[in-house]
A and B are shown apart, each in its own frame.
Chain A
């Protein structure tokens, strides 16, 4: 049974052709419309994505009362901002946790790839990789160091495994020298990786 060890000589082309054939057949059979898949993809370009999370984080940095509400009742505080779709698919129950001088948070899904779609969009490939999923809980400090985020031993590391209904995300620490920035400029500094806890938000470039 050598086929167990074989791959198609051109895996990417094979998968691409198979997906296209499947979508074409499902359109023909009435399972999908030719506009159905595009409706999903356009949602993740315009409605759900890390641009929402970045604005929520920027607001929390500027308004400590908002940050308190966000940590206490995440969906309610997010609703204040009136972004569309914030309790939608994979965001029905979200919770924010905050990095600080004493705590660093990391989000993970050791079982599969649960992720807060409305605020972060879709997870990157490595988030779903079995190696990240196992090492992230076995040796999170080593993994964070490899991501370029060394955490000193006196700082607590909290790892949040999204194993039931909650989808976690991180409010990173506000960078130094950002006092003069407005909400939009602050949001532009916030990356999805920072809201997963695998990156820090760098100080703004000096102008």
Chain B
């Protein structure tokens, strides 16, 4: 990882650690006591939605952390934390003076929150609100919901036949609703196995190969 890639990874992780939604997270973070001017929700979903809704050519044109840097900078401009002009001006300054120092303003209480977040995370585990629909051993088909800006359904599994191998205890809530893609609120999650031949076709797949995916309830349907 290049040094600058580490920095953007770090900025993203601090944003997740001070995201406003964390006051309701399972570890009960004391977010109101954390001194920060960041007043937005920022989760993995924010970053992933940004990347998945990029112009497709640009998605392939840029490297992984280049996409992060573009998405995160744009977010701070769009939300009014910085202006495009001050970012451009300061970027020129650091380009001409790569070793010029950063401002020295430690924030011990924010640092504590970052360490707390790294140690305790942000689990989506919730109490179930609907009955379990499938049991281990059940044959299921993967749904084909409308394409949206963001999904947790691997595209290659749409409409494929699989077998439930595990029903995870509890329910899980994804960071955001994905609208027509159908994630919203707590849902059961199932581990589903797929024979490679059922995904790619018997004569087009490798032998003796099984793909497992963890799928939210809304992505599954019973056999016709």
Binding site for B on A (CB under 8 A): 4, 7, 11-41, 43, 47-48, 84-85, 87-93, 110-113, 122, 125, 128-130, 134, 137-142, 153-166
Partner of B118, one of A4, A47, A112: A47
Using A16-B3, A33-B105, A161-B213 as known contacts, say yes or no to A22 and B76 having CB atoms under 8 A apart.
yes
Using A21-B93, A155-B208 as known contacts, say yes or no to A163 and B153 having CB atoms under 8 A apart.
yes
10 A-B pairs in the complex with CB atoms less than 8 angstroms apart: A18-B87, A21-B90, A25-B82, A27-B102, A34-B103, A36-B107, A38-B10, A155-B208, A161-B214, A165-B189
Partner of B69, one of A18, A88, A90, A93: A18
For the complex formed, measure the closest distance between the CB of A69 and the CB atoms of chain B, giving whole angstroms. Answer: 17
For the complex formed, measure the closest distance between the CB of A33 and the CB atoms of chain B, giving whole angstroms. Answer: 3
Using A31-B36, A156-B210, A157-B206 as known contacts, say yes or no to A26 and B87 having CB atoms under 8 A apart.
no
For the complex formed, measure the closest distance between the CB of B202 and the CB atoms of chain A, giving whole angstroms. Answer: 15
Chain B residues near A43 (CB-CB < 8 A): 115, 118
Binding site for A on B (CB under 8 A): 1-4, 6-11, 13-18, 35-38, 44, 48, 51, 57-58, 60-61, 63-66, 69, 72-73, 76, 81-82, 86-87, 90-95, 98, 100, 102-108, 110-111, 114-115, 117-125, 151-154, 156, 168, 172, 189, 191, 199-200, 206-216
Chain B residues near A16 (CB-CB < 8 A): 2-4, 94, 98
Would B121 and A23 count as touching, CB distance under 8 A? Answer: no
Residue of B nearest to A158 (CB): B210
Would B154 and A40 count as touching, CB distance under 8 A? Answer: no
Using A27-B105, A140-B209 as known contacts, say yes or no to A19 and B216 having CB atoms under 8 A apart.
no
Chain B residues near A113 (CB-CB < 8 A): 64
Would B102 and A15 count as touching, CB distance under 8 A? Answer: no
Q: How far is the CA of A90 from the CA of B172 in the complex (A)?
A: 14
Partner of B215, one of A22, A112, A164: A164
For the complex formed, measure the closest distance between the CB of A136 and the CB atoms of chain B, giving whole angstroms. Answer: 9
Would A130 and B103 count as touching, CB distance under 8 A? Answer: no
